[in-house]
Structure 1
């Protein structure tokens, strides 16, 4: 039952046609129920009113005949003779012809105190005086000159049926006033009402199904072109730019198809232009980078010669030689980054993968920044497992990522400690680099990997960066099927997390380290609290099993 309900919910969410058909049928059921209830009630009331009118006319005529019979009979004071006459009269007015059945009852009125002879109630059949409502008998006694009518329920054997009961006073002479009651069971009316109800039910069900079928057909006429348009749009979004909609006629759907095709053609043309422009740009960057290497080599040789001889120059010239050497280094680094970017754009970048220790790469990257950290007054803290963290990776590219992250943290850390953390689980390894500097504004974490992007354009670079480091780092991570993510908060610093699969063909399901430092600090606090008791120790062991970290702090103090 639950599975069927889930399937219905899925169809409701996924199928426009199903929703339209169901809503149409539900509304149709509501409308038909309201209209059918009104019509059914009106027909039933009309049948009852008609039956009451016929019964009143019929009983009035027979009651008049009965009164004349009592007036003209040779009555005497004999109870037996009068009872025999009344019984024959009642049986005379009895009818037993199917739908025209009529029962007759003669019963003494409650206010009859003048009769010299008392007759018991006379009944023409099994339906007798006990089915005559007390209210009707009281009305006949209170208003003897009027005919009174009421609908009540009677029993015919095991069958219960509504009946019209008409009562009128009859003067029996020596026996005084009696009530003559005609009972008309409504067999025919019940059959008609039952037939009408069945007709309404069957006709309504057929009409609802017909309306549902019509709604389904109409919905298909509208939804099928929309569905085909969605399929074409999905293929177009996947890169099949030659996909087009079939547009026939001049209706709204045809205009939709023509508009979509025109839009697709325009987008295809613009994408082709952008691809061509991108190829030209990539070729230009690659060619310029290669062409500049030759004159740069010559300039480097001349610059090195001048730098080596700076002791023979005046102080200002010597300082210029040092500045020239620094700018040549930066220019050479920029050319190398541009060449690397051009290889990424051309899809020519390849990995030299081998099983390597990530901790060793982290240590080499940290050692490479000792001088820079000392100059900035920054303390480098490393937290890593004691055992090697082995993963399939290109050590050269991974160390380049780490150097970029660490130099970026030192530059923006404002002299505060920089924390490098290594973690691993069964399927992945990770490194986080955390600084406590100015941090990032909301939305900037997604922009830091953009080429030449700077959080503060007015701020000068102090570490000689080219503006391409994080972009290259992101591409290196992607080559490893890894992730490079950023977190930052204004005034709280920033954190970059590199996650790599342990095996080259594996997929990352989760990172061993949290990206948000606040979450990491909370986990450490829980782990520290857990050392005090058995439950806490279990939590600590579970945390250690997940992250597999044993804290080793290596501080580089300038």
Structure 2
């Protein structure tokens, strides 16, 4: 015998209840889901349950009334028949004034023998001598009908006491035993009879109620079948009515889905002039209104798009000419007086902003026209990010911001490098402008199916409501904020479109006063399904590091150590700390690059870092 098999055998019964519980849980969950999602099922069920309860209450009342009436009528008839038989017996005993004991015995035997008529429910009788009488010598024997029913055993002491207590007829319900061991309902009726020269006797007759019981059983079965048939009919009628009522509602739901999908030609078929027809007419009116409004908005949007595209194209040539002329003036600014030199610099800056604005407008108009196509090639997204950070160093210096780059995993994917560069540049520049001098971290993680680029700052931050609008055109969280790098308000909109054309996703979250997080996720192949390597989470509150006071006006530069979590700490240079009026001021610092190699064969060593200082 296999010991392991023997050891695992007892665990099977223990797992069985759990498996049964899971099956029942799934079954009830499926029922609950069906119940919640089906108005027809709920309505028919409630109607049927209400009908069943009503019919059961009504049936119980009817059956009780019928049963009471049948039993009362049958008992009354049996008592009348018994009273007649008892009176006839008393008359026969009184025919002879002084009968002998033998005569009285013969009359008694004939009496109980004649009291057997199954057709009218009479199944036997017995004549019993009343106790407490003297003169036992003249007493007759207590005869009983010779049948299988033992009438003597059905007579109870309570019934005999009731018969002796007065000159009237008394009766009692009993269960009569059948030869097969079963019982049938019945009654025993008794009264007193005087036998001359023998004393007082008690006459008891047993009547069967089985015929009435069978009649009531047939009635109950007929009522039950009628109830079942009625329930079926009610269910069928309810289903038909619900189908008729819900048909236009389902049609309205289907047409509403078509409207949400852009099919504004969908209409409901209207029959008659009832409430459902009014619903159809109202829906059709709404659909026509939506179609008109959408057509008008679509026409206005097309006009606006054509206008922006046309103006952008028409302005491109004169702006280029003005830029060329301005560039000549800017190049000779050192030969100009101070006032003209400043004007030349301002002109050069604003012409650059105007050119960028026109480029953004042309780009967004191309997206609106649906004329964009992706030219993909293998590229290292981490390397693209490094180039973007390097080009953004002047803005980082101007804002006094540290940029930290953290790379993990294989970051190569099939993308269009220029579009990815534009996305990362928009995110990095946006973070630098709103970081308020606090560090900005760029994290790049290569997953199995996608690559994530996360740009996180600890500046003014955005609220969850603002995060939903940050990618809308020309939207700014604070319109009064002065942007140092210019911009049109289209940068994040274009970045999102660039992410979507790759089949990726660009998301944002944050918290006011804490910072913001932008997460770009790109599949390794355009349009492929992917799982996000990073989750979108708001930044943690920034804790300003405590610095030791400098021992002079200028301190020696010290390296900044950054731990990537996998490799050793990397080295980066920082600007010198200057002590001014007992306050330590740290000027701008350059980017800190913490790169974790994906494999030994990667171009970056397992703990490679780069420090850029200028």
Residues 388 and 94 from structure 1, CA distance in 2 versus in 1: closer, same or farther, beyond 3 angstroms? closer
Shift of 1:106: 2.2
Residues 382 and 122 from structure 1, CA distance in 2 versus in 1: closer, same or farther, beyond 3 angstroms? farther
- Structure 2 gap ranges (5+): 1-22, 543-563, 566-597
Number of equivalenced pairs: 531
Q: 1:170 aligns with which of 186, 193, 200?
A: 193
Q: 1:471 aligns with which of 490, 493, 496?
A: 493
Alignment match, 2:399: 376
Shift of 1:228: 2.2
Q: 1:112 aligns with which of 125, 132, 135?
A: 132
Deviations 1:181-209 (A, max 9, x none): 22211122112101111110111111111
Tell me if the contact between 1:413 and 1:435 (Cα under 8 Å) persists in the aligned partners. yes
Matches within 5 A, 1:135-284: 135-141=158-164, 143-158=165-180, 159-284=182-307
TM-score in terms of structure 1 length: 0.88
Alignment match, 2:370: 347
Tell me if the contact between 2:192 and 2:201 (Cα under 8 Å) persists in the aligned partners. yes
> What is the DSSP-based 3-state SS (H/G/I as helix, E as strand, rest coil) of the residue aligned with 1:384?
strand
Shift of 1:425: 2.0
Task: Indicate yes or no: 2:67 matched with 1:47.
Answer: no
Tell me if the contact between 1:121 and 1:129 (Cα under 8 Å) persists in the aligned partners. no
Shift of 1:492: 2.4
Residues 95 and 557 from structure 1, CA distance in 2 versus in 1: closer, same or farther, beyond 3 angstroms? farther
Deviations 1:517-541 (A, max 9, x none): 569x9xxxxx98xxxxxxxxxxxxx
Q: 2:345 aligns with which of 297, 317, 322?
A: 322
Alignment match, 1:534: none
Alignment match, 2:122: 101
> What is the DSSP-based 3-state SS (H/G/I as helix, E as strand, rest coil) of the residue aligned with 2:483?
coil
Residues 84 and 401 from structure 1, CA distance in 2 versus in 1: closer, same or farther, beyond 3 angstroms? same
Q: 1:435 aligns with which of 454, 457, 463?
A: 457
Task: Indicate yes or no: 2:424 matched with 1:402.
Answer: yes
Alignment match, 2:435: 413
How far apart, CA to CA, are the structure 2 residues paired with 1:419 and 1:553? 15
Residues 192 and 362 from structure 1, CA distance in 2 versus in 1: closer, same or farther, beyond 3 angstroms? same
TM-score in terms of structure 2 length: 0.80
How far apart, CA to CA, are the structure 2 residues paired with 1:348 and 1:402? 23
Shift of 1:556: 6.2
How far apart, CA to CA, are the structure 2 residues paired with 1:388 and 1:255? 62
Moved more, 359-368 or 126-135: 126-135
Alignment match, 2:504: 482
Alignment match, 2:569: none
How far apart, CA to CA, are the structure 1 residues paired with 2:469 and 2:302? 24
Judging by fraction of residues, say which structure has more helix: 1
Larger RCO: 1 or 2 (CA < 8 Å, sep 6+): 1
Residues 496 and 7 from structure 1, CA distance in 2 versus in 1: closer, same or farther, beyond 3 angstroms? closer
How far apart, CA to CA, are the structure 2 residues paired with 1:175 and 1:457? 128
Q: 2:308 aligns with which of 285, 301, 310?
A: 285
Alignment match, 2:536: 515
Moved more, 38-47 or 439-448: 439-448
How far apart, CA to CA, are the structure 2 residues paired with 1:418 and 1:356? 24
How far apart, CA to CA, are the structure 1 residues paired with 2:82 and 2:135? 25
Residues 318 and 176 from structure 1, CA distance in 2 versus in 1: closer, same or farther, beyond 3 angstroms? farther
- Structure 1 gap ranges (5+): 522-526, 529-543
Alignment match, 2:584: none
Residues 105 and 459 from structure 1, CA distance in 2 versus in 1: closer, same or farther, beyond 3 angstroms? farther
> What is the DSSP-based 3-state SS (H/G/I as helix, E as strand, rest coil) of the residue aligned with 2:262?
coil
Moved more, 334-343 or 164-173: 164-173
